[in-house]
Amino acid sequence: MKLAKWQGLGNDYLVVEESALPGPLTTEVIGLLCDRHLGVGADGILLHGRPTGTVPGAVARMRVFNPDGGEPEMCGNGIRIFARYLARSGAVAEPGFVVETLAGAIRPRLLSNGSVRVDMGRARFRSANVAAAPGAEIPTDGDVVDARLIAAGEEYGFTFVDVGNPHCVIQVDDPATFDVAGVGAAVERHPVFPNRVNVEFVRVEPDGSVRMRVWERGVGETQACGTGATAVGAACVRLRLLESPVLVHLLGGDLVIEVGPEGGDGWPVFMTGSAEEVFSCELSSEFLRRLGWPAGAGDPVEGAAAVAGTTASGESADEPARG
């Protein structure tokens, strides 16, 4: 089986064709493929499949899987990678197109300098992904802005942002020295976030930019998170800390986030950044056997459509995975 490894600001993904899977993409298979010592190594998997027809005009469907097998709604770095992968593979001819995701329709546009500008939809500051719970003070109605929660024995102010997936933005004195792992893991699973949450630790810089580190739900700390940067940009504009466009510094590089004026259904947000192919490869027979897949199989086999608990029709066979 062939696959490609891409990275966006150091956030790396394996791009896999659903039609080429020689066996089920189970939680165990995902974990082994992403293992940096025993497998290919990545922050997750992007699965390229045919659109289901639920998103008008979609040219492809992108599913995202974290190393723990969880399936997040969207991935900002992943959609830039996916857009360039589609162009390089000849699946699209126009610079702008629509991709189906669990978060709905996402509209990337390929730029002449190799970057990708993505219409990320709307940023919202309240959704079903945040709820009243012990250890937190949140508004009973309206936006969850400048709220409070207790994690790892300390109280933190936070702003909740939903950009198709949930984010908790926390201002800190210095992201470089902050305990991202300890606090991030505690906040991710805080009861105020029923579906868990991605956590961004940020500081506004004197030059009008913002610096962040991110703890990703189901992954841990990564070099970059596109939806996280989008959430941070939206939060900074919503809190009147910065004006759009917002330059966001991540460990892996920079992203530019444009935030439009608030509308009746949220704040329009756009993300621009890079993505590049690292290599393509073909898995060995030995590794395929370790995955429990037919060694040397040239075509998909019966059961290959079973992707992380999903049936061939695309409907969940169990409770939806959370990532």
The residues annotated as belonging to the active site are 75, 225
Of the candidates 76, 100, 80, the one whose C-alpha atom is nearest the C-alpha of residue 6 is 80
Instruction: State residue 6 phi and psi, 5-degree precision.
Output: -125, 165
Identity at 185, one-letter amino acid code: A
> Burial code of 41-61, b = ≥16 C-beta within 10 A, e = fewer?
ebbbbbbbbebeeebeebbbb
With vertex at residue 78, the alpha carbon angle to CA 77 and CA 84, rounded to the nearest 5 degrees, is 95
With vertex at residue 192, the alpha carbon angle to CA 187 and CA 193, rounded to the nearest 5 degrees, is 70
Contact 6, 12 (CB under 8 A): yes
Please state, in angstroms and rounded to a whole number, the distance separating the CA atoms of residues 318 and 308: 10
**Cβ-Cβ contacts under 8 Å for 177 (sequence gap 6 or more):** none
How many DSSP H helices and E strands does the chain contain? 5, 18
Compute how many other C-beta atoms are within 10 angstroms of the C-beta atom of residue 95.
14
**Cβ-Cβ contacts under 8 Å for 21 (sequence gap 6 or more):** 1, 300, 304, 305, 307
Tell me the HSE value of 18 on the side-chain side, using a 13 A CA sphere.
21
